[in-house]
């Protein structure tokens, strides 16, 4: 499934005697071909390479694009075109139409017909006559003879006639040449060229996922908090009561319902409200509201393959999954490889944990945080047994209808384990997706993506200033061939200070940034109610964190009274669905604006020719004004052209060009999300072959 070998560098390959032309800097290639590049079904995937040779003869290149289990391209060549400012850079675009492992290779070749045509045109322009061009004309005739021998019946006669004209000395020079340069023949020659000195790279792999690997809107909530409030007291929700929340989530336009762990929760060292350890740790000492952390998985009631009995049964969970699908959504389930002290694994497989010198099992720590209710897994003592058990658990939930796993802290587990697990699953179920929740060092985040994770949590939460947002956005777009971001505005344990102190306008600002910058974004429930109080100053933990207690919310009452951001989230998701450009990452481009508190960016979709232009006020306190300086060629326009824009949030319409005045009041509307209407058909870079 995944390329499992290191290739020689392309530059090194060009040192071989059988490779006549130079081919370097092939993209998309991940780690010299050790891992597969990524795309999704229907995505326009640019393939680029630097192609060159000695001397001045014309060179050309094509891509051989091979589907899963199939042969390479059949029919007209998939030609590459000159691209960008570099003189030897070439590009074409491919569009995969199914999931699985595709491959591509670059073929570079000497193009004698283009060399001949250029030489003849230059010499004629210089005033040379038929006698001086005698050899050139015969060379052209011989090239056309070669084409005629391979051409179909429709074109064979025309090429033969063009060759005869080149040899006919009774004709005036321009008349002799004209048939060979006719537009119809040139179009045919583009697809059926004469290729000499053909030089090929190795094949490189592109793993193609379903569309949801790139694009989606996620909503996280705790089913246990969706129970009824009785006599002022919250009661534990079930999959049935949580199912009542699903229509509202679907109405807001979300595609994925992400559930924290739904397994039995340990009773030993169970945590109480606001993450304080409940005294004693004895089940009998735990009050009725101390439900514990769902990430403290496992008890006498079962482990990772079981359902918490207060939520219901496995059949209840399957019904919940079915209801989600009926509403046009799907379930993502947390995969947290750790265990509570009373998880069945602890007794049956103590070797799967780390034993300290005093004989106790080490619990999880992230100083200053201590998680006495969680034992980390040790993957070194019995990898064969542990790998097999985790794969079994994953397949249990796949059989229950789960096709997306949000993986908790994958950076604390071995890379080779994830590499093995992900591709074992994809051998049989290529539609299963894995999201890496890895807030860690950049090198580890990127490597998790390279080895197979479908998506990744990101540093978006902590990027609030224009420069750092632009730098991070460019980094993600440049690495879109293997790393796909998921921009969560908040999580159960990340309440950024911008939300704590920015007021309702900041909630809108962060929602616009996340949903417009990234093709996939996410919201943790409570965001739409502007929940913003931290457990203590300087902390990113919520007060009364839902991780440790039930947290029922009056959703309907808040929306009815205008205290909910749900209508705004609904509109953002409607705009995302209406515009294919917002479902892209590779085409993200930033534009200049003369106020550092204003951010301007665009996205385009090569397939539909859709374009969206976004301007955001990053200040939640003050109105910001400024003037844009748009890079119009990024929108497929010339510098002088003007075009129409319609604000998808307010309905206002404007006539725009390169320079445009902007004024945004965060208390009214902190952003423009413009649908662009072009004055003429455009071709976005990179062009579509």
Q: Which residues are annotated as a binding site?
A: 271, 338, 373, 409, 547-548
Burial 634-664 (b: 16+ CB within 10 A, else e): bbbbeeebebebebbbeeeeeebebebebeb
Burial 2-19 (b: 16+ CB within 10 A, else e): bbeeebeebeebbeeeeb
Give, rounded to a whole angstrom, the gap between the first and last alpha carbons of the chain. 27
Specify the 3-state DSSP secondary structure of 616.
Answer: strand
Pick the catalytic residue from 136, 205, 226, 408.
Answer: 408
Tokens of 304: 């990772």
Pick the catalytic residue from 437, 531, 541, 546.
Answer: 437
Answer whether 55's CB lies under 8 Å from 100's CB. Answer: no
Q: Of 626, 628, 630, give the one whose Cα is nearest residue 663.
A: 626
What are the φ and ψ backbone dihedral angles of 602, each rounded to 5 degrees?
Answer: -135, 160
Separation between Cα atoms, residue 203 and residue 26, nearest integer Å: 11
Count of residues for the chain? 689
The answer to whether 408 is a known catalytic residue is yes
Q: Tell me which DSSP letter residue 14 carries.
A: T
Q: Of 599, 606, 602, 576, give the one whose Cα is nearest residue 589.
A: 602
Axis-axis angle for helices 134-150, 112-125 (nearest 10)? 150
The answer to whether 437 is a known catalytic residue is yes
Secondary structure element (H or E) that encloses residue 531, with its range? none
C-alpha dist (Å) from residue 96 to 211, 218, 328, 562: 11, 25, 24, 45
Q: Of 683, 345, 674, give the one whose Cα is nearest residue 516.
A: 674
Separation between Cα atoms, residue 631 and residue 637, nearest integer Å: 9
Answer whether 588's CB lies under 8 Å from 613's CB. Answer: no
Annotated binding site for alpha-maltose 1-phosphate: 271, 338, 373, 409, 547-548
For the chain, the 3-state helix, strand and coil shares in percent, each to the nearest 5, are: 35, 25, 45
Residues annotated as part of the active site: 408, 437
């Amino acid at each position: 499934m995944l390329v499992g070998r290191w290739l020689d560098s392309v530059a090194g390959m060009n040192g071989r005697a059988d490779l006549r032309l130079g081919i370097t800097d092939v993209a998309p290639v991940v780690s010299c071909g050790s891992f597969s590049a990524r795309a999704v079904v229907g995505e326009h995937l640019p393939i680029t390479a630097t192609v060159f040779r000695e001397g001045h003869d014309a060179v050309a290149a094509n891509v051989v694009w091979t589907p899963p289990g199939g042969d390479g391209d059949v029919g007209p060549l998939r030609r590459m075109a000159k691209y960008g400012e570099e003189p030897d850079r070439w590009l074409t675009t491919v569009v995969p139409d199914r999931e699985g492992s595709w491959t591509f290779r670059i073929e570079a070749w000497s193009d004698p017909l283009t060399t001949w045509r250029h030489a003849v045109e230059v010499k004629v322009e210089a005033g040379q006559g038929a006698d001086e061009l005698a050899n050139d004309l015969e060379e052209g005739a011989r090239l056309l003879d070669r084409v005629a021998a391979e051409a179909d019946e429709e074109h064979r006669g025309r090429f033969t006639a063009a060759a005869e004209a080149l040899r006919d000395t009774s004709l005036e020079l321009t008349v002799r040449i004209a048939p060979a340069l006719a537009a119809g023949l040139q179009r045919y020659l583009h697809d059926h060229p004469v290729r000499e000195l053909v030089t090929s790279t190795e094949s490189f792999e592109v793993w193609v996922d379903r569309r949801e690997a790139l694009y989606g809107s996620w909503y996280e909530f705790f089913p246990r908090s969706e129970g009824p409030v009785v006599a002022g007291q919250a009661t534990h929700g079930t999959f049935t009561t949580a199912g009542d929340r699903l229509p509202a989530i679907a109405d807001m336009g979300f595609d994925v319902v992400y559930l924290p762990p739904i397994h039995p929760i340990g009773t030993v060292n169970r945590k109480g409200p606001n993450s304080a350890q409940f005294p004693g740790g004895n089940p009998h000492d735990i009050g009725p509201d101390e439900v514990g952390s769902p990430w403290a998985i496992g008890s006498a009631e079962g482990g990772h393959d079981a359902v918490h009995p207060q939520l219901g049964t496995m059949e209840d969970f399957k019904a919940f999954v079915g209801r989600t699908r009926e509403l046009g959504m799907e379930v993502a389930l947390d995969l947290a490889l750790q265990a509570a002290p009373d998880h069945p694994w602890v007794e049956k497989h103590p070797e799967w944990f780390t034993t300290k010198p005093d004989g106790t099992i080490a619990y999880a720590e992230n100083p200053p945080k201590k998680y006495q209710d969680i034992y980390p897994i040790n993957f070194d003592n019995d990898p064969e047994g542990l790998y097999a058990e985790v794969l079994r658990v994953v397949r249990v939930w796949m059989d229950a209808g789960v096709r997306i796993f949000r993986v908790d802290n994958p950076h604390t587990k071995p890379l080779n384990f994830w590499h093995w697990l992900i591709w074992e699953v994809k051998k049989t179920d290529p539609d299963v997706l894995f999201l890496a929740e890895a807030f860690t060092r950049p090198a580890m985040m990127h490597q998790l993506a390279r080895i197979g994770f479908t998506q990744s949590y990101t540093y978006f939460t902590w990027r609030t200033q224009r420069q750092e947002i632009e730098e991070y956005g460019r980094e993600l777009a440049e690495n879109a061939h293997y790393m796909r971001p998921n921009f969560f505005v908040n999580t159960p344990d990340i309440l950024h200070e911008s939300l704590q102190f920015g007021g309702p306008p900041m909630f809108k600002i962060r929602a616009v940034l996340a949903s417009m910058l990234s093709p996939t974004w996410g919201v943790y429930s409570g965001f739409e109610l502007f929940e913003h109080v931290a457990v203590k100053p300087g902390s990113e933990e919520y007060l009364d964190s839902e991780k440790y207690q039930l947290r029922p919310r009056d959703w309907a009452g808040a929306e009815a009274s205008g205290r909910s951001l749900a209508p705004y989230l609904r509109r953002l998701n409607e705009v995302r669905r209406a515009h294919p450009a917002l479902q892209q990452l590779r085409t993200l481009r930033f534009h200049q604006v003369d106020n550092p508190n204003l951010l301007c960016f665009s996205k385009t979709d090569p397939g539909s020719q859709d374009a969206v232009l976004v301007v955001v006020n990053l200040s939640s306190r003050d109105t910001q004004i400024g003037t844009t300086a748009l890079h119009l060629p990024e929108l497929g326009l010339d510098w002088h052209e003007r075009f129409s824009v319609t604000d998808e949030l307010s309905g206002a319409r404007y006539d725009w060009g390169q320079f445009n005045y902007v004024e945004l009041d965060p208390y009214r509307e902190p952003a423009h999300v413009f649908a662009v209407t072009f004055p003429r058909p455009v071709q976005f870079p990179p062009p579509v072959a």
